Chain A
Amino acid sequence: AIQMTQSPSSLSASVGDRVTITCRASQGIRNDLGWYQQKPGKAPKLLIYAASSLQSGVPSRFSGSGSGTDFTLTISSLQPEDFATYYCLQDYNYPRTFGGGTKVEIK
């Protein structure tokens, strides 16, 4: 199974900060990666698909990049509603595998 290593596992940031989260795949997965946001007690929400495509309705401060093994989710200017946990998911093959998550907390 493809391992997805996500870093950092947590970070503290202030409103307005630029935040970067990375995911590394244990083998090449082309651009078959999505990013999800999850708030406590809620279902995950798709933010980015195919590594860099913004899901409909998601604010443009979210962006994704990368291909092959290294991927990045960037929040250009952190907003209060962005404090949450973020996950990457590879959909290159089965079994699907999630990264371990990154909890973004208020500094």
Chain B
Amino acid sequence: EVQLVESGGGLVKPGGSLRLSCAASGFTFSSYSMNWVRQAPGKGLEWVSSISSSSSYIYYADSVKGRFTISRDNAKNSLYLQMNSLRAEDTAVYYCARDSYGDPDFDYWGQGTLVTVSS
């Protein structure tokens, strides 16, 4: 069974940093591109970042470029999101999601982890 489990969320002050993790199981993690998607309270979905299976290709939303860094460790079946210079508008539930094999839609999602940026 495919499982994605996010962790690392919490309360952080503006300007602070946080590192999210996504532990993957039930599939060959190293074969799939992975993604982070976020959802501010009461708002819609926003794509944040994507990373290819071997980390050769990395993409970011303009809203996080230069502040967030996506990475992965295929040996540990884990995806990460390092978030620096956090702002109030980064407050959201952060989901990791897997690219479907052979199609770039997101076929499996984690349950999400809440990041709150507030003083």
Interface majority SS on B: helix, strand, loop or mixed?
Answer: strand
B105 and A34 form a contact (CB under 8 A): yes
Q: Choose among A43, A49, A101 the residue that contacts B95 (Cβ–Cβ < 8 A).
A: A43
**Interface segment, A10-18, A20-28, A75-83, A87-95?**
A87-95
User: Given A95-B59, A95-B62, A96-B50, are A44 and B45 neighbors across the interface (CB < 8 Å)?
Assistant: yes
CB nearest neighbor in A for B45: A98
B47 and A95 form a contact (CB under 8 A): yes
Complex interface: chain A residues within 8 A of B47 (CB): 89, 95-98
Q: How far is the CA of A25 from the CA of B3 in the complex (A)?
A: 32
Complex interface: chain A residues within 8 A of B37 (CB): 44
B1 interface residue per 8 A CB criterion: no
Q: Which of chain B's residues 14-60 have a Cβ closer than 8 Å to chain A?
A: 35, 37, 44-47, 50, 59-60
Assign chain B's interface to a size class: 20 to 34
Q: How far is the CA of A4 from the CA of B37 in the complex (A)?
A: 16
Complex interface: chain A residues within 8 A of B104 (CB): 32, 91
Binding site for A on B (CB under 8 A): 35, 37, 44-47, 50, 59-62, 95, 97, 100, 103-107, 109-112
